[in-house]
Chain A
Amino acid sequence: MKTINVKINGENYTREINEDMRLLDFIRDELKLYGTKEGCGEGECGACTVIMDGVTVNSCMVMAFQANNKEILTIEGMEDEKGLHPIQQAFLDEGAVQCGFCIPGMVLSAKALLDKNPKPSRKEIKEGISGNLCRCTGYNKIVDSIEKASQYLEGEDQ
């Protein structure tokens, strides 16, 4: 057993965990945050994407103890008191959602991208989400959404 301190969606958690526990299981089974999905268990599909200290990681490939003293954002942390995050709103407005299983990871990859590069080109967007597989949407409306989100965020800043 190991003790970890981790800040998730702005809240501090201290937990005793098994050393072989994955961060994904910590988030889902320990904290009951089920928005983070498991699609492959080997870092190929991106459904379990979370942001750790500003960088996207596949939470199935990170051990929970590696998140000690880190700050993590999951899909549940995207909304605030004003409601949906502009990226989430853009996904809705542009019709980027179908079955939805890839969407939490997509939204977080989009956030990490836009945090670094507020006005990405379509090619940069595609590169930014290339680690997130989607079987339903053919990605185009997701790319549209991230472009739209970029505009929403720019509007917010002004």
Chain B
Amino acid sequence: MKKRGFGYGCIFYGTGYGNGFPDISRSIAELDTKGHINIYVGATEVGQGAKTILGQIAAEALDVPVEIVTLIHEDTSITPDAGTAAASRQTYNTGNAVKISAEELKKEIIVVAKGLLNEDHLEISNGVIRSNTSDKTLTLKDIAEASGGGFLRKDGIFQANTTEMDPETGQGNPYWPYTINAYAVEVEVDTTTGIVDIIRAACSQDVGRAINPSLVEGQIDGGFAMGLGYAIFEDINLDKGRIKHNRFTNYLIPTALDMPEIEKIIVEDPESTGPFGAKGIGEPVMIAAAPAILNAIYDAVGVRLTEIPVTPEKLLKALKKREG
């Protein structure tokens, strides 16, 4: 018999290293001789989109087209340390460092422009330096050339706010900011085979501010898939310290056929300490998926599975036990 059920899960997630550990990102913003912007950061693009959104942050802070911004992150000998691509920290921490370096570079560009134009009220708009009081303009290339053919370079450094907790009571402010994630899922359980099918899902994801909504959505889909695997498939299956599921023939991860459509809702509540209000989401997007699925299984068949993954064998055993 096939039975359907609904379940919810919600979580909070403290981003960053936490517990007072120095959580520092560094960035260098540079105007090169072509009038293009280079951002140097030692942040890894692991697929999450860091390379894209850090460029967007720099472009926004400088008010230049995103196309003229290049992220350079692949070489330790030319990039400053931006910490690890983990703890959902690159958007918030390195994003802040990039924003600070870009803002400093912008100030420097304006200083050079003031000297060239003999005007005091200047701003950058879409990559062009304009006067507020006349129709004089300068390009970024003009600024680069006026700087003697050298590069204008400015540093940005950001340190996250975290304190060490009391060792006896655990009291303190270990993380900041916190990101919220909530999932709702509908499952269909086949009580004959024990197979759980995820019929549909919805996600509401707190982002502070979405730097790139499409990338946020991609993270949600991917996070849900990993949570789905965690809930019903994945276990390396240890036998006296030996991994028995050590290949894709026996360590099952979700395929396209296992994934439901997900209604993705991005909730924006800008965080004042984040770059343009943004917070990290890379881990939170996964977390509430598995508990929502477990609650939905209970709603469908009335048994609580307290051990994951809920494989067909485990589920059938639990159903049988209840019938007793």
Taking the complex as formed, is A52 at the interface, i.e. its CB lies under 8 A from any CB of chain B?
A: no
Is A129 on the interface with B (CB-CB < 8 A)?
yes
Inter-subunit contact A138/B223 (CB<8 Å): yes
Q: Which residues of B contact A44 (CB under 8 A)?
A: 247-249
Q: Does chain A have a CB within 8 A of B255?
A: yes
Please judge, given known A-B contacts A95-B217, A98-B222, whether A140 and B259 are in contact too, CB under 8 Å. yes
Mark contacts of A138-154 with chain B using CB atoms, 8 A cut-off: 1 yes-contact digit, 0 otherwise.
11111100000000000
A130 in contact with B218 (CB, 8 Å): no
B199 at the interface (CB under 8 A from A): no
**Distance in angstroms between the alpha carbons of A99 and B45 in the assembled complex:** 8
A32 beta carbon closer than 8 Å to chain B: no
Task: Determine whether B225 belongs to the interface, using a CB cutoff of 8 Å to chain A.
Answer: yes
Tell me whether A42 and B247 are in contact (CB under 8 A). Answer: yes
B65 at the interface (CB under 8 A from A): no
Instruction: Judge whether B168 is part of the interface by a CB distance below 8 angstroms.
Output: no
Check: A31 CB closer than 8 A to any chain B CB: no
Q: Which residue from chain B places its CB closest to the CB of A125 in the assembled complex?
A: B256
Counting chain A CB atoms within 10 Å of each CB, which of B47, B214, B218 scores highest?
A: B218
With contacts defined as CB atoms under 8 Å apart, how many contacts are there between chain A and chain B in the complex? 77
A95-B259 CB under 8 A given contacts A45-B248, A141-B221:
no
Verify B217–A98 contact, CB threshold 8 A. no
Q: Give the residue of A42, A126, A130 whose beta carbon is less than 8 angstroms from that of B248.
A: A42
| Complex-state Cα separation, A8 to B68, whole angstroms | 37
C-alpha gap A123/B185 in the complex (Å): 19
* Cα–Cα, bound, A122→B262 (Å): 14
Q: Is B257 touching A138 in the complex (CB atoms < 8 A)?
A: no
How far in angstroms is the closest Cβ of chain B from A98? 4
Q: Are B257 and A137 in contact (CB under 8 A)?
A: no
Of all chain B residues, the one with the shortest Cβ separation from A127 is B257
A-side contacts of B254, CB under 8 Å:
138-139
Partner of A95, one of B48, B218, B257, B262: B218
A139 & B221 in contact (Cβ 8 Å cutoff)? yes
A99 to chain B, nearest CB (A): 3
Residue-wise, chain B 220-261 has the 8 Å CB interface mask toward A (1 for contact) of 111111100000000000000000000111000111110101
A143 and B256 within 8 A (CB): yes
A139 contacts B215, C-beta separation under 8 Å: no
Q: Judging by beta carbons under 8 Å apart, are B259 and A139 in contact?
A: yes
Is A133 part of the contact surface with B, judged by Cβ < 8 Å?
Answer: yes
Per-residue B-contact encoding for A117-139, CB less than 8 Å = 1, 0 else:
00000100111011111111111
Residue A77, interface by CB 8 Å: no
Given contacts A98-B48, A130-B255, whether A136 and B222 have CB atoms under 8 Å apart is yes
Give the docked Cα–Cα distance between A125 and B261 (Å): 13
Residue of A whose beta carbon sits closest to that of B259:
A139
Seed contacts A126-B257, A138-B226; 6 additional CB < 8 Å A-B pairs: A98-B49, A131-B255, A132-B256, A135-B253, A138-B225, A143-B256
6 A/B residue pairs, CB under 8 Å, sorted by A = A98-B48, A100-B47, A126-B256, A130-B255, A134-B256, A139-B225
Q: Which 4 A-B pairs have the closest CB atoms?
A: A99-B47, A138-B221, A44-B248, A138-B225
